Amino acid sequence: MPGDELKKFLFPKTLGEQMRVFGMPLDEFIPSVPPFLIAIWEKHALGGLIYGVLAWLFIHWLKRGKGSMWLYNLLYWYLPTELFRVVYRKIPGSCFRQWIK
C-alpha cells in the first residue's frame, strides 16, 4: 500500500525545526540543567531550580530572538577553540583572523 510506505519517513513541519527538550532548544536546555541536578544531588532542589531558571533567563536574554547558531558563533569567537571542536570540526580556530580586501 502506498500510504504505509510514506509512514516510514519522518518529515519536519519546517526546515528550520530544531531538536527541543521540554520545549527548550538544546543551547538553552544544556546550561540550565546542571545547576539543578547538582543542587538535587546536594539536597538543595529549590536553590538549583532558581539557578537553573536564572541560567535559562540569561541565555534567553542573551539571544534576544536570534537563532541558536548566533550563540554558537559568539562563543566561537570569544572562547578558546578547544572547547568547540565538537561543533566546529572543519574550520580554523578563531585566533587565525585575517582581513581580506
Residue 62 placed within a domain: yes
Per-residue pLDDT, averaged over 12-17, amounts to 63
> Considering the domain boundaries, does residue 3 fall inside one?
no
Total domains present in the chain:
1
Structural domain harbouring 52: 24-84
- Give the pLDDT of residue 16: 66
**Helical (H) or strand (E) element with 94:** none
Residue 19: inside a domain, yes or no?
no
Could you tell me the three cell numbers for 12? Answer: 519536519
Quote the pLDDT of residue 70. 80
pLDDT at residue 1 is higher than 60: no
Please report whether residue 43 resides in a domain: yes
Give me the numbers of helices (H) and strands (E) for the chain, helices first please: 4, 2
Asked if residue 1 is part of any domain, the answer here is: no
Kindly state whether residue 90 falls inside one of the protein's structural domains.
no
Residue 9 in any domain: the answer is no
Provide the mean pLDDT of the chain. 76
Q: Which residue in the block uniquely carries the three cell numbers 580554523?
A: 92
Residue 11 lies in a domain: no
Asked if the model's pLDDT at residue 40 lies above 80, the reply is yes
